[in-house]
């Protein structure tokens, strides 16, 4: 079994005696014990706290079978409490794996602990993922099949045990869907082009009870979706567009809100004829992380249900240089008749998003959100920990930020300053695909998209260029894709219900 597919099993118990085998873990907060210590640990904890120890401590007798693990959250001092719990739970899980102790018992019997069980499981499931299908050959696969997987026990104490169980079941579904799309983003570009991505969406539709509609290059041409065709011209892998729809059960003629989610899916971005430097190309298989996030959100919604209608649109293309590729100076006439001068073929993501946004707008949604690894400028401005949100509907932006806080995916609002449109004027077309200034690239990219979204549609843009693929081990994530954005968009839909 691939380690990335290891199934985490868990259960909820009201109490757990000290003499029962297992690795009991106590997550200790700086100012308050969220996980109340059992009586026999009080003296040890008093000494532990008096000495201000900030390292984990394993307490064991002559055997490891019944051990206690003290894990202070203070060692994760740069994270908020929710993210610290995820990292701490993953640390405890790895300790249980290393010591081959099962079950891992997470004690949560304090009134304040409500909700922490979800964060702990989230950290363990997302943190135990690794993309290793090309590592080590047959012997490595045999070793992976022998990996020790401890059971997890959540001690609920006086909390509502059935409610905790239901929340954990829901959370497990969310995390497993996120890990699936992390696989897609981590796949080598030779394995996942536009056609293969569209096939993955077909699988998702079948598995998650979603309706699906597909556009190949002929249909794209016939319906005037010029952005995808222009970007895909240089590749021998033609572009695709996919629309997935979730329809809730409706009583009678009741009208429900309709949310459209749009994702950028450049399966590999060489920059086209505006070629990227070699070092900047290495991680460009991840330039479809926005589309993957939308696919993940749709899978979550399909599995868990929602009270609103949701359509997820994936714009899929590969951006390559060749004799047939679009060139700087080319002009594209988009579906709505607006012309775009291509001043840089490496600003291609916005060109394919325009097609998907126009399809989304034609559905007259109540809300529309797009997600894209759109600009390097966003990484410069906000780093890898934070994504940008821009839009013209304050309520929608507030809802997205709230969903991000719930999942630990932080959004920072940047201004959609219309004055910057002056920099995007073209002498030969209605607008150019980049600004004529070296500054404010994240804002000008969002402004460009906004030119193709009708004013009456509440719309927001997520630039997830930083946290979608940090390029290193990050918090509880292994190197590679994080699935950033899927939980935000699924959370937005859940909260709208």
| Global pTM value | 0.94
Q: How confident is the model at residue 168 (pLDDT cuts 50, 70, 90)?
A: very high
105: helix, coil or strand? strand
Residue 35 has pLDDT above 60, yes or no: no
CA 64, 65, 66, 72 torsion: positive or negative? positive
Q: Report the first-to-last Cα separation within the chain, whole angstroms.
A: 37
Residue 279 has pLDDT above 70, yes or no: yes
Residue 2 has pLDDT above 50, yes or no: no
Residue 151 has pLDDT above 90, yes or no: yes
Structural domain boundaries of the chain? 3-159, 181-496
336: helix, coil or strand? coil
pLDDT at 140: 57
Q: Give the chain's mean pLDDT.
A: 91
Q: Any idea which of 33-47, 226-240, 300-314, 436-450 has the lowest mean pLDDT?
A: 33-47
pLDDT at 67: 86
| Phi, psi dihedrals of residue 443, rounded to the nearest 5° | -70, -45
Q: Any idea which of 55-64, 129-138, 255-264, 397-406 has the lowest mean pLDDT?
A: 55-64
Nearest C-alpha neighbor of 288 from the set 156, 185, 181:
185
Residue with tokens 């430097």: 277
Which residues are tagged catalytic? 276, 350
Q: How confident is the model at residue 350 (pLDDT cuts 50, 70, 90)?
A: very high
Q: What is the CATH number of domain 3-159?
A: 3.40.220.10
pLDDT at 3: 42
Query: Quick count: other Cβ atoms within 10 Å of Cβ 289?
Result: 32
pLDDT at 133: 87
| Rounded average pLDDT over 234-251 | 95
Q: How confident is the model at residue 54 (pLDDT cuts 50, 70, 90)?
A: low
Q: Do domains 3-159 and 181-496 have the same CATH topology?
A: no
For 183, 225, 419, 488, the CA distances from 483, given in Å and listed in that order, are: 9, 28, 33, 10
Give residue-wise pLDDT tens across range 197-225: 999 999 999 999 999 999 999 999 999 99
The residues, ordered by sequence, that sit 6+ positions from 255 with a Cβ below 8 Å of its Cβ are none
Residue 1 has pLDDT above 50, yes or no: no
Q: How confident is the model at residue 4 (pLDDT cuts 50, 70, 90)?
A: very low
181-496: what CATH class?
alpha beta
Residue 190 burial (10 A CB sphere; 0-12, 13-18, 19+):
exposed
């Amino acid at each position: 079994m691939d380690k990335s597919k290891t199934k985490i099993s868990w259960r909820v118990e009201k109490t757990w005696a000290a003499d029962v085998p297992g690795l009991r873990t106590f997550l200790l907060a700086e100012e308050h014990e969220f996980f109340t210590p059992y009586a026999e640990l009080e003296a040890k904890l008093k000494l532990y706290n008096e000495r201000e120890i900030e390292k984990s401590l394993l307490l064991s007798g002559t055997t490891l079978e019944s051990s206690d693990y003290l894990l202070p959250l203070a060692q994760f001092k740069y994270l908020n409490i929710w993210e610290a719990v995820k990292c701490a739970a993953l640390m405890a899980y790895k300790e249980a794996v290393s010591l081959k102790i099962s079950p891992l018992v997470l004690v949560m019997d304090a009134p304040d602990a409500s909700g922490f069980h979800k964060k702990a499981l989230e950290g363990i499931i997302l943190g135990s993922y690794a993309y290793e299908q090309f590592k080590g050959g047959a012997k490595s696969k045999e070793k992976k099949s022998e990996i020790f997987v401890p059971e997890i026990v959540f001690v609920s104490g006086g909390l509502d045990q059935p409610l905790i169980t239901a929340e954990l079941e829901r959370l497990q579904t969310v995390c497993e869907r996120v890990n699936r799309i992390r696989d897609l983003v981590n796949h080598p570009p030779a394995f996942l082009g536009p056609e293969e991505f569209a096939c993955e969406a077909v699988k998702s539709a079948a598995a998650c009870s979603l309706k699906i509609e597909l556009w190949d290059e002929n249909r794209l041409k016939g319906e005037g979706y010029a952005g995808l065709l222009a970007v895909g011209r240089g590749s021998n892998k033609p572009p695709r567009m996919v629309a997935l729809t979730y329809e809730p059960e409706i009583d009678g003629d009741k009208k429900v809100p309709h949310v459209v989610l749009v994702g950028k899916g450049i399966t590999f971005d060489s920059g086209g004829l505006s070629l990227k430097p070699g070092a900047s190309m290495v991680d460009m298989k991840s330039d479809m992380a926005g589309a993957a996030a939308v696919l993940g959100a749709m899978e979550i919604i399909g599995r868990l249900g929602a009270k609103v209608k949701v359509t997820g649109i994936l714009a899929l293309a590969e951006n390559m240089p060749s004799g047939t590729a679009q060139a700087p100076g080319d002009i594209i006439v988009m579906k709505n008749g607006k012309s775009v001068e291509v001043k840089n073929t490496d600003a291609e993501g916005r060109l394919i998003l325009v097609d998907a946004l126009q399809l989304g707008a034609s559905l007259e949604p109540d809300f529309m959100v797009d997600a894209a690894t759109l600009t390097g400028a966003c990484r410069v401005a906000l780093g890898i920990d934070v994504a940008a949100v821009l839009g013209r509907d304050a309520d929608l932006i507030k809802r997205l930020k709230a969903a991000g806080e719930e999942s630990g995916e932080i959004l920072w609002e940047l201004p959609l300053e219309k004055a910057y449109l002056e920099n995007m004027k073209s002498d030969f077309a209605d607008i150019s695909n980049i600004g004529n200034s070296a500054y404010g690239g994240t804002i000008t990219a969002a402004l460009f998209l906004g030119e193709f979204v009708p004013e009456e549609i509440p719309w927001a843009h997520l630039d997830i260029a930083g946290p979608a693929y940090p390029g290193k081990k990050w918090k509880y994530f292994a190197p590679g894709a994080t699935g950033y954005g899927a939980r935000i968009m699924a959370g937005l839909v859940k909260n709208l219900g």
